Amino acid sequence: MLRQVTIHQLDLFLEAAKLKNFSRAADKMAITQPAFSAQIMKLETILGMPLFERIGRRVELTQAGAVFEEYARRTIATLKEGKDVIDDMSRNVIGTLRIGASSTIANYVLPAYLGRFKKANPVCAIEMLVGNTNQVEEALLRNDIDMGLVEGPLQHKEVKVYLFKKDELVVIFSPSHRWSGKKKITIDQLRKEPLIIREKGSGTRKVFMDFANEANKPWNIAMELGNTEAIKKSAQANLGVAVLSASAVDHEIKDKSLHIARIEGYKFDRKLNVIMLENKYISNPLKSFIAIMKPAENPLKP
């Protein structure tokens, strides 16, 4: 029964309690006195007790009415506070940025963008899920995140895809490897080497396997590892060679702990994509982050 109580009824009740006169309260609330009285009677019926008693020309709160007045005031104040917070959220960038990213993007691409976002919006919280492409897509579908950034193919048609930027994949190997000093290698040279690749579900793995299958030749897969850092360490230890995003090995290239080469006659590019659900509400924190990212295809544009 309580869910039948309306905010309008609470406003009328509090005005009558304040003015102690139904006629004046009705004028103040811009409704007729019969309509005002009907709403008060309905409220009393819902609560099961009279809230007012007539004393001459004025009305006074009953004992039950006096008790209920405090709760009515609290309810209206809480609703007003909630409305003020929502208004503040609509005018300003506050709240939480909820995103997901595949490990390569999370570790090597996003930190600079997140730093700029936090500098521009210091009161915003950031929640970031890190996983492979499949895991990020599933998190989006569960509404655990509002936007994802991935590099692999998707499984669900309801997920909208927007190009963020292009990413180059390179072959990495130890400085002590016999390829040291080479800038380019052939497909045949690569397929004969012990290869270290990412786990199933990884976008990097999918791009490499598509390339490997296109070559239509046997490959020497030596290790499957679940994260990029483990692959880099294994390559540094000369346990094999790998194909990774150039952005993931920027530091190692600079300190010369890894060497890179490109595949002769093959442009090893892939797309890094923004993914969102169709008709997703875009919060102010998410709007701000998208503006900072400047994706090649903007989800904010129709």
Which residue matches tokens 């080479």? 182
Residue 148 near residue 101 (C-beta atoms within 8 A): yes
Segment 178-202, tens digit of pLDDT: 999 899 999 999 989 999 998 887 8
- Please write the tens of the pLDDT for every residue from 79-97: 888 887 776 666 666 789 9
Q: Which of 58-67, 199-208, 257-266 has the lowest mean pLDDT?
A: 199-208
Residue ranges making up the domain that contains 182? 166-270
Residue type, 231: I
**Distance between CA atoms of residues 238 and 194, nearest Å:** 10
What type of residue sits at position 67?
A: V
Pair (226, 170) in one structural domain: yes
Q: How many domains does the chain have?
A: 3
- The residue whose two tokens read 């990213």 is 101
Domain termination site, one of 75, 91, 107:
91
Residue 203's pLDDT band, with cuts at 50, 70 and 90, is confident
pLDDT of amino acid 88: 65
Read off the DSSP letter of residue 104: H
Phi, psi of 231 (to 5 degrees): -65, -45
Phi, psi values for residue 144, rounded to 5°: -75, -25
Task: Output the CA–CA distances (angstroms, integers) from residue 161 to 27, 179, 219, in the order listed.
Answer: 56, 38, 32
pLDDT at residue number 226: 86
Comparing 19-33, 202-216, 271-285, which segment has the lowest mean pLDDT? 202-216
Instruction: Give the SS3 label for residue 88.
Output: helix
Number of Cβ atoms within 10 Å of the Cβ of 287: 13
Beta partners for residue 93, in sequence order: none
> Is residue 160 domain-resident?
yes
Please state, in angstroms and rounded to a whole number, the distance separating the CA atoms of residues 57 and 240.
95
pLDDT band at 218 (very low <50, low <70, confident <90, very high): confident
Within a 10 A sphere around the Cβ of 245, how many other Cβ atoms?
A: 25
CA 126/CA 155 separation, integer angstroms: 26
* Shared domain check, 278 and 135: yes
300 part of a folded domain:
no
* Residue 299 covered by a domain: no
Residues in the chain: 302
In DSSP terms, which residues pair with 166 in a beta bridge?
271
Mean pLDDT across the stretch 14-19?
93
Considering the domain architecture, whether residues 200 and 80 belong to the same structural domain is answered as no
pTM: 0.64
Average pLDDT over residues 151-162: 87
The answer as to whether 181 is a domain residue is yes
DSSP state of 126: E
Same domain (yes/no): 136, 265: no
Least confident segment among 21-35, 182-196, 204-218: 204-218
Top-confidence residue, 4 or 233? 233
Q: 176 and 264, same structural domain?
A: yes
With tokens 């009328």, the residue in question is 12
Residues 280 and 136 grouped into a single domain: yes
**CB count in 10 Å sphere of residue 141:** 15
What average pLDDT does this structure show over 232-246?
A: 94
